[in-house]
Amino acid sequence: MGSHSRPGPPNQPSRAMPRVDGDDPLAAYNKRRRPPLDVHRRHRPLHGGGGHLRPDEPRALELWNGFSYEPAGTAANLAEAQRWVNELASGESGDESSPAA
């Protein structure tokens, strides 16, 4: 096995990091301010473990503030947490700082 390659078709750009505009003088700064994999909201189990395990246990909700994730509230279960995470993507909520619970 010779060279390292990413999985997927060779004719598609990587989806891990969005492209950076070379003409923008603040491109490097803006790139550092983006959340990992452009995930602005995420949830974590309160008692550790995998996110898909124990779907009836509470979840901590976290919101990207431009530098790191900060606590934004709690959700009673996995379904509520997933609904809160997907609100931003679907545009249902105008106020992105309001937690679900």
Comparing CA positions, the residue from 60, 50, 51 lying closest to residue 100 is: 60
Q: What is the pLDDT of residues 26-80, one digit of tens each?
A: 877 777 777 777 788 999 999 888 888 889 999 999 999 988 999 999 999 999 9
* Domain definitions of the chain by residue range: 33-90
93 pLDDT above the threshold of 50 = no
What DSSP assignment string belongs to 67-90? SSEEEEEEESSHHHHHHHHHHHHH
Provide the 10 A C-beta neighbour count for residue 72.
Answer: 20
Q: For residues 56 and 61, what is the distance between their CA atoms, to the nearest angstrom?
A: 15
17 falls in which pLDDT band (50, 70, 90)? Answer: low
Amino acid sitting at position 32: R
pTM of the model: 0.59
How is residue 4 written in tokens?
């390292």
